Homo-oligomer: A and B are copies of this chain.
Amino acid sequence: MRNATTRLLTRADLSTLISAHGADTLMGDMIAAIETAFVSFDEAKCTVPVRSGFSYTAPRPGLVEWMPILRQSDHVTLKMVGYHPENPGWANLPTIQSMVGRWDTDTGRLVAICEGGLLTALRTGAASSVASKALAKADASTLGLIGAGAQAVTQLHALSQVFDLSCVLIHDSQPAHAASFPSRVAGRLKAGVRIETSSTQRMLAEADIICTATTVAPGDGPLFSSAADAKAHLHVNAIGADFPGKTELPLDLMQSAFVVPDFTEQAIREGECQQLRRDEIGMDLTALLQRPGLQAQLHSARTVFDSTGFALEDDAALSLILDLAGHYDIGSEIEMETPGLDVLNPYDAAEPTASSTSPLKLDTLP
């Protein structure tokens, strides 16, 4: 009899895992896992379709997408991810709601289910860190954050592990979000890092690295009109653009920068690369990570990481989390299947006499 249980990791389990392993250690491990996933990405062994989904405007604007990946001869990971920008306002729920599942390819069995919102925040931060290490000045010290929501927390946390930051400039269209940001990153930064609210104009003039992670509506971008005043070596991690029509960056920045998508085919449809011709796009992150000489040249150039969100990252993040959950014995096991049933009989284990008892009439149901 094979193990027939499914590992369930809720958000509470992930909080326990962070407490057990340490948030800094976890982010460090996540950065390493994401970097390894990009460096070793091999299309012959790993299939990643461009994600699909449903978008709608009623009852509220939102979308639900599925992001599948096949690791050949091993497993399938699929993340279901909802993006509902009005969630924090009316439902006290995060903008991103998500579940990640994993199925083995031996039998198609569901191996694990994991809350995906926290995983998404961790892996998106880690991916920016990997891209920024490759593209930004090594002595970058001023970080700008446009959008001070949940994603900004892990962007800052991940970047602070790679850069010796002294100043963080934040801008959010909702002042309350900017105001609460410092308390949300307390304990994630070394002592002495200044956090200041800022106009985008000041941020552009001073920042070495900028992360954009907003809920700007499709068609309402960009977040600032021009990058004319930005530093020559500015590196931008563009997180928010992940839907047709949604972009955060001005065209002059995109056209003057070396642009690195996480997943080019998807970035052309949904990311900042929607604004570019194919020949204006640099190369994807996997290709860049294989060229250390080029990275060194790009440190002094304007660069953009077009982070649309890549199933490869979700898969690597889930593998890390499952390893750690196993080590610390966190989470629970649920029995989706009942072991030992007759596999040829869908009714096995149901009481055979039940249909002779007085059944509920369906029309009495609520």
Contact B107 A22 (CB under 8 A): no
Q: Bound complex: CA of A279 vs CA of B146, how far in Å?
A: 56
**Choice from B68, B106, B335 contacting A10 with Cβ under 8 Å:** B335
Q: A64-B76, A68-B54, A187-B355 are in contact. Are A18 and B343 (CB under 8 A)?
A: no
Contact B153 A345 (CB under 8 A): yes
A327 within 8 A of B: yes
Q: Contact size class for A?
A: 35 or more
Contact A93 B343 (CB under 8 A): yes
- Which of A81, A92, A346 lies at the interface centre, i.e. has the most chain B CB atoms within 10 A of its CB? A346
A34 within 8 A of B: no
Contact A108 B88 (CB under 8 A): no
Contact A347 B92 (CB under 8 A): no
Contact B105 A336 (CB under 8 A): no
Question: Which B residues are CB-close (under 8 A) to A59?
Answer: 73, 105-106
Interface flags for A16-53 (1: CB within 8 Å of B; 0: not) read 00111111110001001000000000000001010010
Q: Bound complex: CA of A318 vs CA of B60, how far in Å?
A: 24
Interface set, chain A 54-73, CB cutoff 8 A to B: 54, 56, 58-60, 62-64, 66, 68, 70, 72-73
**Choice from B66, B76, B180 contacting A78 with Cβ under 8 Å:** B66
Q: Bound complex: CA of A43 vs CA of B121, how far in Å?
A: 35
Query: Which of A111-119, A133-141, A191-199 binds B?
Result: A111-119
Residue of B nearest to A109 (CB): B97
Contact A106 B91 (CB under 8 A): yes
**Choice from B63, B93, B327, B341 contacting A366 with Cβ under 8 Å:** B327
Min CB distance A363 to B, Å, is 10
Contact A92 B1 (CB under 8 A): yes
Contact B344 A105 (CB under 8 A): no
A329 within 8 A of B: no
Q: Bound complex: CA of A106 vs CA of B70, how far in Å?
A: 30
A150 within 8 A of B: yes
Contact A97 B110 (CB under 8 A): yes
Question: Which B residues are CB-close (under 8 A) to A328?
Answer: 360
Q: Bound complex: CA of A87 vs CA of B343, how far in Å?
A: 9
Residue of B nearest to A97 (CB): B108
**Choice from B99, B354, B365 contacting A324 with Cβ under 8 Å:** B365
A-B contacts, 30 of them at CB < 8 A, read A8-B334, A11-B341, A12-B335, A18-B354, A19-B351, A19-B354, A22-B356, A22-B359, A23-B347, A52-B68, A59-B73, A62-B106, A80-B110, A82-B103, A82-B107, A82-B109, A84-B107, A87-B108, A88-B343, A93-B109, A93-B343, A98-B108, A99-B101, A99-B336, A150-B343, A153-B346, A153-B347, A187-B352, A323-B366, A327-B366
Q: Which 7 A-B pairs have the closest CB atoms?
A: A82-B108, A22-B355, A18-B350, A19-B351, A25-B359, A97-B108, A121-B346
A188 within 8 A of B: yes
A326 within 8 A of B: yes
Question: Which B residues are CB-close (under 8 A) to A10?
Answer: 334-338
**Choice from B105, B122, B180 contacting A346 with Cβ under 8 Å:** B122
Q: Bound complex: CA of A36 vs CA of B36, how far in Å?
A: 50
A269 within 8 A of B: no
A243 within 8 A of B: no
Contact A349 B68 (CB under 8 A): no
Q: Bound complex: CA of A106 vs CA of B56, how far in Å?
A: 10
Min CB distance A11 to B, Å, is 5
A357 within 8 A of B: yes
